[in-house]
Chains A and B, each alone.
Chain A
Amino acid sequence: SSSSQGNSFLVPGATVATILMLGALHARRLYDDKKVEDAREKGLEFEFHPDVKATFLQLLPLRSISRYWGLLTSVEIPVWLRPYVYRAWARAFHSNLEEAAMPLDEYATLRDFFVRSLKEGSRPIDPDPRCLVSPVDGIILRFGELKAAGAMIEQVKGFSYSVSSLLGANSLLPMITEETTHAESSELENTPKDQSNKSWWRVSLASPKVWDPVASSPMKGLFYCVIYLKPGDYHRIHSPIDWNVLVRRHFSGRLFPVNERATRTIRNLYVENERVVLEGQWQEGFMGIAAIGATNIGSIELFIEPELRTNRPRKKFFHSEPPEERIYEPEGVGVMLKKGDEMAAFNMG
Chain B
Amino acid sequence: STVVLVFQAPVSRSPKNQGSSEFSFCTRKGDRIRVGEALGR
Please list the residues of chain A having a beta carbon within 8 angstroms of any beta carbon in chain B. Answer: 40, 123-126, 128, 130-146, 153, 163, 166-167, 173-174, 184, 187-188, 191-192, 213-214, 217-229, 234-238, 240, 258, 270, 282, 284-294, 297, 340, 346
Contact = CB atoms under 8 A, between A and B. Distances in A.
A123 B36 CA distance: 6
A237 B36 CA distance: 10
Contacts of A146: 6
Contacts of A140: 27-33
- How many interface residues does chain B have, given as a range? 35 or more
A288 B5 contact: yes
Interface of B: 1-17, 20-23, 25, 27-41
Nearest to B13: A187
Nearest to A292: B2
A140 B38 CA distance: 12
Given A132-B41, A221-B8, A285-B7, A238 B2 contact: no
Contact of B36 (A125, A217, A292): A125
A289 B4 contact: yes
Contacts of B36: 123-126, 133-134, 238, 340
A130 B39 CA distance: 11
9 contacts: A141-B29, A143-B27, A145-B11, A221-B11, A224-B4, A229-B3, A282-B7, A286-B6, A346-B1
